[in-house]
Chains A and B, each alone.
Chain A
Amino acid sequence: MAPASPGLRRAGFALLTAIPLGFLAIFFGWPVAAILRLGITEGGVLDVLGRGDTWRLVAFTVGQAAASTVLALVAGLPVAFLLARTALPGLGFVRVVVLVPFVLPTVVVGLAFRTLLPDGGVVAIVLANAFFNVAVVARTVGGLWAHLDRRAEDAARTLGASPARAFTSVTLPALAPAIGSAAAVVFLFCATSFGVVLVLGGARYRTLETEIYLRTVNLLDLSGAAALSLLQLVAVVAALVVGAVARRRRETALALRAAAETARRPAGGEWAVVGLALTVVAALLAPIVVLVLRSLSTADGWGFDGYRALAGTGYGGSLDVSGVDAVLNSLRAATDATVLAVLLGTLASVVLVTMSRGRARRGLVETIDTAMMLPLGVSAVTVGFGYLVTLDVLPGDLRTSAALVPLAQAIVVTPLVIRMLLPVLRSIDERLRHAAASLGASPLRVWREVDVPLAGRSLLTAAAFGYVVALGEFGATSFLARPDTATLPVAIARLISRPGELNNEMAYAACTLLVVVTVAVVALVERVRVPGRAGLGEF
């Protein structure tokens, strides 16, 4: 671009860049850094590292995450095949069923698995974590698989390879980067999984993530919690680096085809894989169905007691607000968070696209991109905890403000918005913008005429997705919500930790409400998915 006044434009651009980065610095970088400092200066780190139970905690965290990752891969690969390589009726439904668990509130999933396996313990934790992440494997691997040229396999077959041999010697190596990248992401999600472990493990099975929470909330051991946060942060960064390396190798030249060309009716042994995939889909449906059924069953047969009870505060006033108020709190916070995240995510995406269009150094663009992604990897509990120890410095003492919850949720949602929007903006050919400019469109007009209409759908999708994630956010919210601003997930967690059949019924009803909203949004997102753009904005 050759702007009229480069100086002015550069200043304006720097300002645009400063907004998302500044937000990230204040509401993410600073709290996390404060935790690090607290962990290091209070001498807690060495003390904590020297204790045997810390390492048992680490071993359990890593162990359950590894087991969950393996299970998610085993379950996700047949589904990836089903979605990517077959042309069968009803795949749209399968897509929705697979995606719903990924955005279901963790508390809801926790409760569902507690109902399925009343004394499940470790097994329930691993199953629940895998349940969430089948979508990540199916989408990441399936996204690549759908675009992989079948003719490489055909060539292997004509050279004498059996179908199985062709798969292991040709297809699997081509998919390896996607599988590696998915495994890294899943491992990360499982290792920092909070709601599920808290609900299913309680005080018996603790991971670093729940231990940080329990120490802060129950024991007020801030320095110990900070030390554990530090330990976890190191592990997370290591996992992120592994994932980034895998992603980079994924950029190797593969012969990619349009998805429609590679899908066909399964044949022979492929039906066995399809059967396996459908079994996984059925297994994914089970916890959801159980939840809905339980919400409708009462002590004396079927009924809506649980839903009716949402008008009150539970058995013996277990909640400080009524269920309805919690619903309203949730909707309000999620709306604020989504608006904020969409603004920040759009701004960041625009900045990143504009930078890589110009002659900005690639390293700089990648650094900003990665920085904006960090909140996805750092545990929400750490962020929430960080808010508690830092934000009292800001005017008006944000710590007691109801604004904290949407701020924290926005930090979690913004990376999702960027991941869904950025690839679409990047895929718009630069020359399309040049064509518009040569026809007389000013830079702002080019955005309005080209980028907005082409990326609009993705932005809507991202907003809808972000809304659901904000609605179900539990890690940071449980730290930050005050009793009277409790969101629905926080209320559910409280209800199931108190005795009383009424509380259980209320919790099931609340979970079902969240399930309904989630399913509706996912179905909507699937419906407006831009055809031919599969693989974009996937995890």
Chain B
Amino acid sequence: MSFEQILAQHPHSKPFWEATARAELVLPTCTGCSRAHWYPRPFCPFCGSVDLQWKRSSGRGKIHSASFMRRAAEPYIVVAVELEEGPILLSNLVEAPLDQPAIDSAVQVVFKQLDDGRTVPMFKPA
């Protein structure tokens, strides 16, 4: 799927990719109930408000859980990262030893460019 197709099918995602291209992680945050949610929607899934802001995340968080995918040609680490702002994001742990990481260990966002042109957030040990 190309970047253009993603934008065509998920038009509300555009500001997110513009931010990651600037090496910023932003979270859709409700101006009504103040909660950030994930994955992004054009409405607040907690209170139903459509009055949302893309708020910049600190990019800091901790590993909520992880699984080191050993059975792959090039093993990699899938993580669920709990950001300081609250939401838990699925991502990869990079720039880290290729092993099962410890839950609750601190991580920091990094940005990686994909072949399709998108820049996506990943995490490294903090």
Partners in one complex: no
- Please list the residues of chain A having a beta carbon within 8 angstroms of any beta carbon in chain B: none
- Please list the residues of chain B having a beta carbon within 8 angstroms of any beta carbon in chain A: none
